[in-house]
Amino acid sequence: MPEITSPPAKKARTLDAFEQLKSMTVVVADTGDVDTIRRLQPEDATTNPTLLLQAVSGALGEALLDRALKAARAASPLEGEALVSDVCDRLAVLVGCDILRAVQGLISTEVDADLSFDTNATLTKARRLMQLYKEAGVDSGRILIKLGSTWESIQACRQLENEGIHCNMTLIFSFAQAVACAEAGATLISPFVGRILDWYKKAEGRDFTAEEDPGVISVRRIYSYYKQNGHETVVMGASFRSTGEILALAGCDKLTIGPKFLDELKQQYTFVERRLDPEVARSSGEVERLAEGPLDEKQFRWHHNEDAMATEKLAEGLRGFAKDLVKLKHLVRARIATSKA
């Protein structure tokens, strides 16, 4: 009688770090390049003036600018800087629409950084961007309006959220910013992990492990505070300097990650431990408070001012986004001039 043998056991498929991370955290692509987004297949995506500048500087840049310019001229007889601004708005929405075809979730579109200290101007621009998305047939539930987290922008966020326009509050460096954004009802905040690390490395003249990384510690603190206080605002870590930082925040609500690190995570096959968990956070320690009630403007400004890193990095971040917006507008002016020739 022939010997009966069992079929060879199938070798279990090993998950890379990216796949493991996606099982516990929503991964957002920090790029405006649609081909890269299609390849990496994140759930959400985000843009800013820097990423838009990269998009129009690429091989398809002229075509993107021409699409935005054609749409602007067809819609209204604007000239001069009004036309430049309208083209930039339409360009942001065109890129956003292209990205939305490549992701299942959300796109964040940023309001001009130079409006960050003007609540009313921020509201006008945010509503304009939403109107353009509506004209393009995009469900408003898939759009996040991205604002730099100044006091003025946080007040704009409060009003926009009341109108049903969801906000991504970016350039979060201080705990006071995170608290005020949650109290304003922000849909999502983006703490800038790597930029916080940059400041402390320069200030202290040393390197940090992932566990002692000041940016990682900041996000963990905010995450715990939100869960303990029942805030529904989503925490999305951003601006990373290494995959070690990213994996130290595994389990965070969302993480927005650049293509370089997404590719690196796909090549790592080490076990990814969940580091942030809502149930653990809710039951961990005494609830932290900055004030007896909601933060008012004086309290916000004082607590933010007390954090030298946050004060410097917020100002630097706004200047950086504004600088790239100036470059983008220069490209738009040049294209308008060429189209008239």
- Residues with active-site annotation: 146
CB 164 within 8 A of CB 140: yes
Cα–Cα distance measured from residue 103 to residue 32, given in angstroms and rounded to the nearest whole number: 12
- What is the DSSP annotation of 237-283? EB--S-HHHHHTTTTSSEEEE-HHHHHHHHT--S-------HHHHHT
Those residues with Cβ within 8 angstroms of residue 221's Cβ, 6 or more apart along the chain or in another chain:
175, 288
Pairing state between β 254-257 and 167-172: unpaired
Structure tokens at 329: 């507008």
- Residue 217 DSSP SS3: helix
Task: Using the structure block, give the residue that is written with the tokens 């090993």.
Answer: 14
Please, is 173 exposed, middle or buried when counting C-beta atoms within 10 Å of its C-beta (0-12, 13-18, 19+)? buried
Structure tokens at 251: 């389990």
* CA atoms within a 13 Å half-sphere pointing along the CA-CB vector of 262: 23
Helix axis angle for 308-340 and 175-183, nearest 10°, is 70
